[in-house]
Structure 1
Amino acid sequence: MKFSILPVALVAVVLLSQGCVSNKKFSDLQSNYTQLQSKNNDLNNKYQESQNGLSNANTRIKSLEEQLANERANVAALQASLDKALSSSNQGNVNISKLVDEINSSNKYIQHLVNVKNTSDSLNMVLTTNLTRSLSADETKDVDIKVLKGVVYISLSDNMLYKSGSYDISDKAGQTLSKIAKIITDYHNYDVLIEGNTDNVPVNMPNIRNNWDLSALRASSVVQALQTTYNVDPKRLTAGGRGEFNPIADNSTDTGKAQNRRTQIIITPKLDQFMELIGKAPAPKQ
């Protein structure tokens, strides 16, 4: 899905030979094109950084689940050792007492890990519930909310968000964005990634080369609206585009294309705070 672009030199020769534009106008066009390329590169870099952070968060959650499984297995092994010790007349009271202490310590850490995970899950469910309740019946048709692996995904249709064939925010999107912005502001310990997605239809818009550009610019429009109109702290926001390469439906149908043309607001707990909770494990007995 690439935009066919003639080399700048060839365009210059054709335009100047036909007397269509002045040298100054051509220079302005070339400057605008260069600025657009630079802006798109910056957006893609920021998007990649946020994707890395999101990947790290998911890895930490998986690691937490593995720790839970390992600790439960450890408790089972300790319990088996204790049972064996109790049934053997050769085991002294000191060894039995040590096994009991180890079992109690492991159980405390398991409960701590469970509490950390439950805290994260509970906060996300409250966030999701509050947002769902704030939306009207009409708004819910264009908004899909899910919680996957500790991350909240809010998917918004392009028909609701943008003016037709544009990356400018539409007037009717204001009410919905204001409600989402309030939730984001209330849950200030969460980071927010705005991710643009398109279908696989080639772009036919001035100064936009392909669906990568379009998806990134649409995400940037939402970020700027959240910052300037709804006062969300820009340090918490990241804009990125995935073009046509993250479909959730078949692009061979109009319905599928409509589903793929979406912008996702991805809300995730800050990784450093999540790890701080895990680090507050019960101290082992000496």
Structure 2
Amino acid sequence: MIKKIVFAVLTLTLVSSCVSPKIYKELESKYANLKQENRTLSEENEALLNAKNSAENELKQVQLAYDEAVAERDKLQADYNATKSNLDNLKASYSALEKNSSAAIAANSQKNRELLAQLEAKGQALSAENARLEKLKRELEDRSNRVAELESLIAAKEAAMTALKNAISRALTDFEGKGLTVEQRDGKVYVSMENKLLFSSGSWAVGAEGRRAVQQLGAVLADNPDIAVLIEGHTDNAPYMGSGNLSGNWDLSTKRATAIVKILKENSAINPENLTAAGRGEYAPIATNETAEGKAKNRRIEVVLTPKLDELSNLLKEY
């Protein structure tokens, strides 16, 4: 990651020598925003995993304390039963001695009193242990419920993203085999569209078939208002040779991402606040740039769909 950042900084330095300060600052700002967004998503994912692991560890500790309390309660119950049995035997013996010797009766009475005191002490200890056991049981149930709630929310988010992936796959069936793929990983859905479906070489104008694909994707997104939509533009490593005001691949990738955003915004049911356009240039390839096939895969638009995590964030604050 550090190597990538250093490489990116060096690239920015090289680019800055060829472009105006304004364009350089814009690119630098976009790069910083992308880094911040990547860091935020990583932190959110790590926070969720840490919270789940912490809740599970606490649950195990409470379960262990509960088991120990049960064992201690059972031992006290056994001691209590043994002492009570001994007392009953002494009472029987006392009744027999009462008929024969006043001295024996006095001694037996003293022992009875001692046993009664022991029995009372053990009864109090058993009562206290039962109270502690009940408290641990309630705490165990509370922790179990929290873990179950957290797992349920995570499962629901995952199921919702799976349903979204399936809906998108169905909506874009017509474009299978035309450079379009739909994948689900790391709790997100990735829709990748190669440039051959969307743009002409060196252009950021979306063709008719590409526009239709984006519009059909937008129809699904309109039904899912709680999804954040990041549109990333990517290029291969061939230097930009077109004309106009573009400074290079990074600028081209940004304009292509923005072109997709503009088409999605045409659907009034999509909240513009959910849309983000980003240019990644040639710096996030998914295949080698040594072959024509690899370069074709790298020239793409990636639509990254992320669920909003407000419910999970609120639940984590309660821990």
Q: What TM-score comes out, normalization by structure 2 length?
A: 0.70
Structure 1 residue 145 displacement after superposition: 1.3
Looking at structure 2, the residues matched to 114 and 183 of structure 1 have their Cα atoms a distance apart, in angstroms, of 27
The alignment covers a number of residue pairs equal to: 252
Which 10-residue stretch deviates more, 230-239 or 41-50?
A: 41-50
1:118 aligns with 2:161: no
Looking at structure 1, the residues matched to 257 and 291 of structure 2 have their Cα atoms a distance apart, in angstroms, of 24
Looking at structure 2, the residues matched to 172 and 40 of structure 1 have their Cα atoms a distance apart, in angstroms, of 34
1:65 aligns with 2:102: no
Residue matched to 2:183: 146
Looking at structure 2, the residues matched to 224 and 40 of structure 1 have their Cα atoms a distance apart, in angstroms, of 24
Looking at structure 2, the residues matched to 61 and 130 of structure 1 have their Cα atoms a distance apart, in angstroms, of 24
Residue matched to 1:133: 170
Aligned partner of 1:193 among 205, 230, 245: 230
Contact 1:40 1:213 in 2 (8 A): no
Structure 1 residue 201 displacement after superposition: 0.5
- Partner SS for 1:242: strand
Larger Rg: 2
- Aligned AA (1:234): P
1:77 aligns with 2:61: yes
Looking at structure 2, the residues matched to 48 and 271 of structure 1 have their Cα atoms a distance apart, in angstroms, of 23
- Aligned AA (2:241): N
> Which structure carries more helix by proportion?
2
Residue matched to 1:168: 205
Residue matched to 1:268: 306
Moved over 6 A (4+): none
Structure 1 residue 271 displacement after superposition: 4.3
Looking at structure 2, the residues matched to 189 and 250 of structure 1 have their Cα atoms a distance apart, in angstroms, of 35
Looking at structure 2, the residues matched to 68 and 62 of structure 1 have their Cα atoms a distance apart, in angstroms, of 10
Listed one character per residue, the Cα deviations across residues 182-229 of structure 1 (whole Å, up to 9, x for unaligned) are 11111111121111011100110113221111111111111112213x
Aligned partner of 1:255 among 284, 293, 302: 293
Looking at structure 1, the residues matched to 163 and 177 of structure 2 have their Cα atoms a distance apart, in angstroms, of 17
Listed one character per residue, the Cα deviations across residues 13-68 of structure 1 (whole Å, up to 9, x for unaligned) are xxxxxxxxxxxxxxxxxxxx97xx85785576457436534542342232222222
Looking at structure 2, the residues matched to 41 and 239 of structure 1 have their Cα atoms a distance apart, in angstroms, of 17
Aligned partner of 1:239 among 267, 270, 277: 277
Contact 1:195 1:240 in 2 (8 A): yes
Looking at structure 2, the residues matched to 160 and 209 of structure 1 have their Cα atoms a distance apart, in angstroms, of 24
- Aligned AA (2:228): D
Identity %: 28
Contact 1:145 1:155 in 2 (8 A): yes
Cα 1:47–1:145 change in 2 (3 A) is farther
Cα 1:179–1:276 change in 2 (3 A) is farther
Structure 1 residue 171 displacement after superposition: 1.3
Q: State the Cα RMSD in Å.
A: 2.8
Aligned partner of 1:220 among 243, 248, 258: 258
Looking at structure 1, the residues matched to 181 and 37 of structure 2 have their Cα atoms a distance apart, in angstroms, of 23
- Aligned AA (1:65): L
Q: What TM-score comes out, normalization by structure 1 length?
A: 0.78
